[in-house]
Chain A
Amino acid sequence: MGKLGIAKATNWLHFGRLHWPKSFSIVSQRLRKYTHVERTTAIFLVFLSIVFVLYIVLGHFPTIATVSEGLSAPPSEDLVKLPILVVFTMGRLFLAYGISIVVAIGMGVLAAEHKRFAAVFFPLYDIGQGVPILALFPVISLWLTGLLGNQGLALEVTCIIMLVLDMIWYMFLNIVSAVKNIPTEINEVGQLLGFRGLKRITHIVIPSILPAIVTGSILSWGTGWNTIIFAEYLPSTGSADPVSIPGIGSLLDKAGYEYGNTVVLVLMLGVISVLVLLMEAFIWRRLLRKFEKYHVEV
């Protein structure tokens, strides 16, 4: 912290032997790389946010009374159904994820290995990635309502379609680059040992792209959460009496817009965060650690 004078000050105060907490020394190490102006700005911003947080916490700390009041106000009676709503939302996400992973692997492997498929899939990817998926909601929903007749069913299907269209691209891109990056030695070994067709896909290609599939999946789930909350928010526009599909998103909508119940809203956000963290801890992190060993050492 040369320029900030802390090192000098510690020397002067004979604190030399005293170790700063590790996190502090890491920060000081990092700050050393920046100019004086950048450092001052950073410190100012940190100071500002501390003040802000203190203001929020001290000024608006919810009392037990507000919490219990919130928990007895309107949409809270729906909280009993929370487990079912979670199951609905997660079910949709898992279904959409299942569809997109299968399609993405198929498309990704074909696009990486055959130029003809690449010529079709890459423009599709550009469009799919570029068009904001939520803008398609009314179009798909209206079309499906006409097609299926049943509004609730149409909404469900719309939700899944939107999720798939959203989740597929991260995995697709990751898979394409992973297939292209399979080391030549592995490909040669496959050729030499006679792996062909399906055997090659299952023994050589899929295992070598598994780490990329996991990273792609993590990104997909991130965007998937985003989309499903919105998709469940949005009511069908087809009839005079709007309906929306049951799930965490629609309860959020109810708590937020219909009743303005902040306590339930915050509770729901907490539930979503817990779900995301659980997935991270029990699925993605474990898979990543497992597939670390699959990297070919070159």
Chain B
Amino acid sequence: MSVVEVENVTKTFATDHSKMLVLNNVSFSVENDEFVCLVGPSGCGKSTLLRIIAGLEKADSGRVLFREQPIEKPTPKITMVFQLFGLLPWKTALENIEVPLEVLGVPRPNRIHIAEEYLRMVGLEGFETTYPHDLSGGMKQRVGIARALALKPDVLLMDEPFSSLDELTAKTLRELVLNIWRNPVLPTNTFIMVSHNVEEAVFMADRVIVMSRRPGKIIGEVRIGLPRPRSSYLRDKEYFRYVDDVVALLEKGEAATKDQSPISLTVDQGGEVFKS
């Protein structure tokens, strides 16, 4: 059964003079227990798509279904991890995890217990009273992940979660996320990640969905058949073949947008042409 279904989603942003088509008729679905990665050049609307799934933005046409119910506003069943961590600087690591639970109405002793448990899970025991300002980037993202998971969502959305971290930290956190995804005890088992790092996508995902430059639409997808854990395959020919497949699709998308360039031009009333 599909957990998330994106059906014919189209989204335009209005700028001062023109309308800019960001998502053009995007459809795909994500199964239960699946790890899906959306890959595309920057500005292809993949983050916007993620925000529509999260309920933060509304699609102009088309809809997103979560367990067959349309998503209209954010729900605790779908949470998100942000590129710049999205931590509240005025709350300690523990409070950052605890406050969303307070909003949900979890009683205080329970929510502190939950927050401590999740902080321990991401390896930040002993940093309960530390403010984000005093945490490193990797630690902040750990708190971000713990906060998202503490709400016990069904779906975890990740918006380029590792792109503002150094490679070494990113590698450790990728393993952490994969361990969380594999963990049968946790209720969160459907992951949708946005990335522009093809190697990362192939390493982590079951399925890589490739999007074209704006207006973003789906060019194709690559099912990654590498057995897990994949860290031993990182030097493998097979791994690079998958990477090449994804890159080939990306290049196909680039070529296609160049051919159809008139489509990505919008004309405003004054007759001025904006290349979008």
Contacts and interface: CB of A to CB of B under 8 A. Distances in A.
Are A and B subunits of one complex?
yes
Interface of A: 185-186, 188-189, 191-195, 199, 203-204, 207-208, 210, 293-298
A295 B88 CA distance: 9
B133 A293 contact: yes
Instruction: Name the residue in A189, A294, A295 with the highest tally of chain B Cβ atoms < 10 Å from its Cβ.
Output: A189
B219 to A, nearest CB: 28
Nearest to A194: B103
B220 interface: no
Contact of A199 (B82, B88, B103): B103
Contacts of B88: 186, 189, 203-204, 207
A293 B135 CA distance: 12
A194 B106 CA distance: 13
Given A192-B54, A193-B99, 5 more contacts: A192-B74, A193-B151, A294-B89, A294-B90, A298-B84
Interface of B: 51, 54-56, 74, 76, 79-80, 82, 84, 86-90, 99-100, 103-104, 131, 133-134, 151
Given A191-B56, A194-B103, A295 B89 contact: yes
A293 B89 contact: yes
A190 to B, nearest CB: 9
A204 B74 CA distance: 17
A195 B84 contact: no
B127 to A, nearest CB: 15
A189 B80 CA distance: 9
A296 B91 CA distance: 12
A298 B88 CA distance: 12
B56 A192 contact: yes
A188 B90 CA distance: 16
Contacts of B87: 189
Contacts of B89: 207, 293-297
B103 A193 contact: yes
Given A185-B84, A199-B103, A191 B90 contact: no
B101 to A, nearest CB: 9
A189 B99 contact: no
Nearest to B89: A294
Nearest to B103: A194
Nearest to A192: B74
A161 B55 CA distance: 46
Contacts of A207: 88-90
16 contacts: A188-B51, A189-B88, A192-B54, A193-B100, A194-B100, A195-B103, A199-B103, A203-B88, A207-B89, A207-B90, A210-B90, A293-B131, A294-B89, A294-B90, A297-B84, A297-B89
Nearest to B86: A189
A191 B74 contact: yes
A188 B56 contact: yes
A296 B85 CA distance: 10
Contacts of A296: 89
Contacts of B99: 193, 203
Nearest to A183: B84
B103 A192 contact: no
Contacts of B74: 191-194
A40 to B, nearest CB: 47
Given A194-B74, A293-B89, A185 B104 contact: no
Nearest to B133: A293
A294 B88 CA distance: 8
A-B pairs, top 4 by smallest CB distance, nearest first, are A207-B90, A193-B100, A293-B133, A189-B86
A179 to B, nearest CB: 15
A189 B99 CA distance: 12
Contacts of B131: 293
Nearest to B84: A185
Contacts of A191: 56, 74
Nearest to B137: A297
Given A192-B56, A192-B79, A293-B133, A185 B103 contact: no
A77 to B, nearest CB: 51
Contacts of A203: 88, 99
Contacts of A189: 82, 86-88
A210 B89 CA distance: 12
A134 B87 CA distance: 46
A204 to B, nearest CB: 7
A72 to B, nearest CB: 55
A192 B104 contact: no
A294 B92 CA distance: 11
A81 B99 CA distance: 50
B139 to A, nearest CB: 13
Contacts of A295: 89
Nearest to B144: A189
A295 B89 CA distance: 7
Nearest to A295: B89
Nearest to B51: A188
Nearest to A199: B103
